Every structure is written in C-alpha cells, then in structure tokens.
C-alpha cells in the first residue's frame, strides 16, 4: 500500500489518460524511461508490475515521455520546420524493396561503415509473422538489409533504445521510427534522461497511421476470407495490398481505416516533424524516397552519405507532383485529426492530452 502523504504516481495518470482510453501506440517509452524498471508491456498494454512508490518519492517520467501526453510543439507548418526537401535513392539496388528508395537502409549502412554511428535501432517483422514487429539493436549490415520493408504495425522501438544503451553499451545510436516514436525520444531528451546522451541521430518515417494487428486480422478474415496465417506481406501504394499465396487483394485506404490504432485518428504529425531527417514515399515515383532534412546533425549525416555515393539525389522541383502529394497528405492528416478530436470533445469522449491545446485554440 502507498503511504497517504505521497503524491499520486505518474503511472496512475498515464493509465487513466492514455492506456485505458486506447491511445497507447506501444512504443515502449514509459518502459524505457522508468528509473526502477517498474513498467513492462504485457499483452499489448504497459503495466506497472510493482509499486514503484516504494522506491521513488515523486516521479513523473513515464507520463512525461509518453508521445501522447502534452505536446512539445504547439504550432508548426504542415511539414514541420526544415532546411531542405529532396528526392533520394540508395545507389546499391539490394536496399530497394517495394516502392521506396531504400534511403533509410543506405544511410544506416553507410554510417556504420564509416563509424559515424556504432549501432542502429530499427524494426523488422517476426519470422513468418508479418503483422508482428520486433525492434532490433544492431551494428550489422545484414540485419539492416533484412529489415528493408515497411510494416504498418506497432513496434516498441523506444524500449529497444534503452537496451541499446544499457545492455549493448552502445554510445552513438541511430534511431529509426514513426512520428510517435520520434516524439518519445525527443521527450527523453527534454527530460535530460541519461539514455538520450547516446542518441546520435533520429531518422523519422512519414506515417499516416499504424494498424492494430488483431483488429486488422479479424477484418481480413471476416470481409475477405483471408486467414491470419495466409498474410505474407502488406504494402502501401495508393491502396493497401494484402499479399497471400493465392494473390494480392487491394483494399482502399478509406475502407481499411477502421482498423487503425485509436490514437492515430487524432495524430497530427505526418512527416516526423521532430526528426533530424524524415523519409517517406515519393508517390507517384517508384524507387525514390522523399527526404526532409531538418537539423544540422541531419544535414551532415545525409551529406556524408551523398558524398561517398551511398545515396543519389534529385531536386524535388523536378517532380512537382511529389511535393504536392506529400503536402496534401500532411495537411489532410492534421485537418482530419483536428476534426476527429473536436468531434470527440463535442461528444464528451476523451482525447489525448497531446492534441488538447490544438482543439482549444483553433477552429476547423
Ligand atoms: C506505420 C508506417 C506508416 C507509413 N505511412 C506512410 C505514408 O502514409 N506515406 C508515406 O509516404 N510513407 C509512409 N511510411 C514510410 C514509408 O513507407 C517508408 O518508411 C519510407 O519511405 C522509407 O522508405 P525507404 O525505402 O527509404 O526505407 P528503407 O530503407 O526500406 O527502410 C525502412 C526502415 O523502416 C523501418 N520500419 C519499418 N516498419 C517500421 C515500423 N512500423 N516502425 C518503425 N520502423 C519501421 C525498418 O526497420 C527500416 O529501417 C510509413 C511507414 C510506417 C512504418
């Protein structure tokens, strides 16, 4: 039992405001940051596995580092702040799988080769289970190459970042994640958490949303007769493509949307606005990625890969449709999120604290 004179611990608040409302995206930041290892993700939920109040007088870190609690930035342009936007692709073909340019893999491989980083934290699907991800800590090119695929499911990368520092003893880590992962890492930095000292670079991915794998599997089974064991791969073009042994089933974005994680519906960040470098698709171009360079760290990191011919680039002005498309995606994501949040508020439904100030200040 907690003694009565103690302030309520942050986990209670995190549970009430985020976890119990279905806003958690399972990044593992709360587990990573907890100084007494009291939090663990069990069965798709962060749980407090013992009474941390026995060891801490007052600690708010699990609540503070959660990407869905209060926002770090209030007002940003639709694509966030940046120095440069361009198109890029890996020079080595082996890094390109699907419609992307393999830029993330080429950047990481180059930085490892040149000893700019000593490891990378990224995600790949569990063997034979394309809808379940495992975060990895690795310094090996083969691991990076086997992860060259986009998986639209949650991954506890922030938790893997902790193990990169504390178990693998890595000191110059490149971190790859979607916008909520990036935000969790930036919140660790703002908190001046010791782990953040070992963060060399943050590569953010564009992200419209992630799926709940259990929900999506049920949906595919019910509406398309696709059994969970039959799904081999999911790809995104202008539609979602579900690959099975029997063939490919296309599902329009709007239709599949009912299976996304609850929190993604009110997320306003499409392009990982707080990353050093953001990378996303370059629709309608194939085998190219859009790259947004945001910080000096990101610029130096990227330019080194270009200088050593790991990556080739193209001016985005040559492809006005690409720029138009990503601006449209980013604008729509913000607009839709805001609309959804306002609707929830009107209906007295909970909204994540991360979007609270936007709902109060703006009109649609
Ligand atoms: C959930 C999700 C939604 C996305 N939605 C869009 C979108 O709507 N529009 C768009 O343009 N781009 C989207 N992307 C990004 C895009 O698909 C590519 O990630 C990006 O273009 C980089 O491609 P690349 O070929 O340069 O990267 P690659 O060299 O292929 O590297 C991809 C990297 O992403 C990592 N990764 C894969 N899945 C995850 C995951 N779930 N969480 C964290 N890391 C992961 C891999 O470990 C790998 O390091 C999304 C990505 C994800 C993960």
Whether 161 and 121 have beta carbons less than 8 Å apart is answered as yes
pLDDT at 121: 96
How does pLDDT run across 128-148, given as a tens digit for each residue? 777 788 899 998 888 887 777
Reading phi first (left if > 0) and then psi (alpha if -120 to 50, else beta), residue 46 is in: beta
Q: How confident is the model at residue 5 (pLDDT cuts 50, 70, 90)?
A: very low
The residue whose two tokens read 């004179």 is 5
Whether 27 and 154 have beta carbons less than 8 Å apart is answered as yes
Architecture in CATH for domain 213-258 = Roll (3.10)
User: Separation of 204 CA from ligand 1 center, angstroms?
Assistant: 9
The answer to whether the CB of 150 is under 6 A from ligand 1 is yes
Select the more confidently predicted residue: 96 or 143: 143
| Token digits of residue 123 | 């995600």
Whether 318 and 325 have beta carbons less than 8 Å apart is answered as no
The answer to whether the CB of 100 is under 6 A from ligand 1 is yes
d(CA 297, CA 83): 11
Architecture in CATH for domain 10-64 = 2-Layer Sandwich (3.30)
The answer to whether the CB of 330 is under 6 A from ligand 1 is no
Q: How confident is the model at residue 259 (pLDDT cuts 50, 70, 90)?
A: very high
Q: Of the residues 26, 137, 150, which should be mutated to test ligand 1's pocket, given the most ligand atoms within 8 Å of the CB? A: 150
Q: How confident is the model at residue 98 (pLDDT cuts 50, 70, 90)?
A: low
Mean pLDDT of the residues in the chain? 90
Q: Of the residues 205, 267, 313, which should be mutated to test ligand 1's pocket, given the most ligand atoms within 8 Å of the CB? A: 205
The answer to whether the CB of 101 is under 6 A from ligand 1 is yes
For the chain, what are the domain ranges? 10-64, 84-208+263-327, 213-258
How does pLDDT run across 81-91, given as a tens digit for each residue? 999 999 999 99
CATH number of the domain located at residue range(s) 84-208+263-327 in this protein: 3.40.640
């Amino acid at each position: 039992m907690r003694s009565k004179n103690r302030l309520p611990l942050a986990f209670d608040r995190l549970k009430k405001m985020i976890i119990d409302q279905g806003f958690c995206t399972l990044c593992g930041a709360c587990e990573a940051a907890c100084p007494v290892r009291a939090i663990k993700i069990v069965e798709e939920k962060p749980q407090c596995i013992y009474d941390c109040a026995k060891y801490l007088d007052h600690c708010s870190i699990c609540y503070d580092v959660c990407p869905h609690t209060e926002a770090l930035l209030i007002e940003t342009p639709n694509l966030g702040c940046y120095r440069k936007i361009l198109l890029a692709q890996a020079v080595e073909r082996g890094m390109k799988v699907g419609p992307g340019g393999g830029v993330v893999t080429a950047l990481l491989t180059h930085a490892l080769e040149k000893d700019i980083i000593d490891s990378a934290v990224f995600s790949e699907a569990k063997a034979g289970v394309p809808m379940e991800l495992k975060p990895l800590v690795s310094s090996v090119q083969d691991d990076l190459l086997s992860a060259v695929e986009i998986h639209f499911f949650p991954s506890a990368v922030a938790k893997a970042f902790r193990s990169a520092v504390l178990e693998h003893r890595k000191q110059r880590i490149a971190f790859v994640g979607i916008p909520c992962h990036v935000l969790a890492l930036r919140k660790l930095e703002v908190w001046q958490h010791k782990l953040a000292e070992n963060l060399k670079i943050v590569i953010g991915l564009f992200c419209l949303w992630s799926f709940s794998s259990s929900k999506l599997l049920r949906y595919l089974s019910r509406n398309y007769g696709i059994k969970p064991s039959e799904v081999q791969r999911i790809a995104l073009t202008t539609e979602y493509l579900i690959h099975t042994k029997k063939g490919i089933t296309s599902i329009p974005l709007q239709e599949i949307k009912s299976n996304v994680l609850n929190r993604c519906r009110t997320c306003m960040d499409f392009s990982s606005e707080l990353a050093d470098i953001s990378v996303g698709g370059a629709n309608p171009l194939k085998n190219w990625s859009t790259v947004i360079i945001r910080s000096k760290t990101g610029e130096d990191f990227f330019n080194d890969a270009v200088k050593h011919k790991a990556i080739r680039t193209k001016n985005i002005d040559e492809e006005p449709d690409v720029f138009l498309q990503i601006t449209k995606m980013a604008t729509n994501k913000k607009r839709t999120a805001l609309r959804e949040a306002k609707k929830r508020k009107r209906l007295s439904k909970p909204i994540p604290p991360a979007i609270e100030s936007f709902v109060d200040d703006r009109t649609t």
